[in-house]
Structure formats: structure tokens, C-alpha cells
């Protein structure tokens, strides 16, 4: 579990610094499956990279990415959950705080499955 905690800490630091794609490239498996708010899952790093780029194109400024809580566990001690409050601004200057929880399953130091749960609307 210590290795997962270390990876999650490094991953979350990159996100807080606005290095979201660097975090994605470093910590996500090539075969990752990501599901957002119960929508059909997206399989594979390339497909999810496209999804992430679409989301990032909406953001002009990352004002603050605050971690509210982090927890670890799972049957095989391979699960992390991070609760975020992310304050962003779009190209028109509209500010918004996104509240979300990432539930990540790890294998071989990479995220192999992630579920994202957003509170409310994540779009501008």
C-alpha cells in the first residue's frame, strides 16, 4: 500500500500544479478504463487522452485544485479515492468550482480503472 500512497501523492501534486496531461501519461495504464458519472466506460489510453483533451480545452486558468480527502483500501489494497474541489476559469473569464471524486484501481503502479463522480454540472 505504501507504493500506491506514494504514487497517489505524486499524481495529485502534478494535478494541483496544473500538469494534468503529464500526470495522465505517467500514471495511467495503456489499457485504462475510465467511466464518468455512470456513462459508458471509455477503454484505452488513447481514447481517454482525447476525452481529457476536450475537457482541458474548456479551461483557460486553473485557479486552485484543492484536495478535500484521500482514502485507500480495497480488497487487494489497490484502490485510492480522492475528493477534489477544482476552481477553474474558461476563456470568457467565467469561474467555476468543480467538485469530484476519483476512484482509482491500481496495478503495477498504474491506474487500470477509474471512475469519476462529479457533483452537478462539470461543463461551463
Total number of domains in the chain: 1
Give the whole-angstrom CA distance, residue 67 versus residue 65. Answer: 7
Give residue 29's pLDDT: 98
The set of cell numbers assigned to 111 is 491506474
Structural domain includes residue 11: yes
Is residue 34 a part of any domain in this protein?
yes
- Residue 107 placed within a domain: yes
Range of the domain at 93: 2-119
Task: Return the pLDDT at 55.
Answer: 84
Phi, psi of 79, rounded to the nearest 5 degrees: -120, 135
Confidence at residue 124, expressed as pLDDT on a 0 to 100 scale: 52
In a domain, 46, yes or no: yes
- The DSSP output letter for 81 is E
Model pLDDT, residue 123: 65
Q: What is the pTM of this model?
A: 0.91
Alpha-carbon distance 95 to 80, whole Å?
28
| Exposure class string for 59-95: b at 16+ Cβ within 10 A, else e | beebeebebeeeeeeeeeebbbbbbbebebeeeeeee
Does residue 124 sit within a domain?
no
In a domain, 31, yes or no: yes
Residue 43 lies in a domain: yes
Phi, psi of 94 (to 5 degrees): -75, 130
Give 95's strand partners. 89
Chunked mean pLDDT (size 10), the chain, 124 residues? 93 95 97 96 97 89 96 94 95 92 97 94 64
Question: Domain containing 113 — which CATH number?
Answer: 3.10.450.50
Amino acid at each position: 500500500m505504501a507504493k500506491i500512497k506514494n504514487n497517489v501523492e505524486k499524481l495529485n501534486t502534478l494535478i494541483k500544479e496544473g500538469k494534468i496531461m503529464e500526470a495522465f501519461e505517467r500514471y495511467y495504464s495503456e489499457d485504462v478504463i475510465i467511466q464518468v458519472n455512470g456513462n459508458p466506460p471509455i477503454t484505452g489510453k488513447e481514447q481517454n487522452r482525447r476525452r481529457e483533451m476536450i475537457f482541458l480545452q474548456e479551461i483557460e486558468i486553473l485557479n486552485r485544485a484543492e484536495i478535500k480527502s484521500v482514502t485507500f483500501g480495497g480488497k487487494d489494497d489497490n484502490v485510492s479515492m480522492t475528493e477534489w474541489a477544482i476552481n477553474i476559469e474558461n476563456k470568457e473569464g467565467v469561474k467555476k468550482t468543480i467538485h469530484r471524486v476519483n476512484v482509482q484501481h491500481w496495478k503495477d503502479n498504474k491506474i487500470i480503472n477509474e471512475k469519476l463522480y462529479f457533483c452537478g454540472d462539470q461543463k461551463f
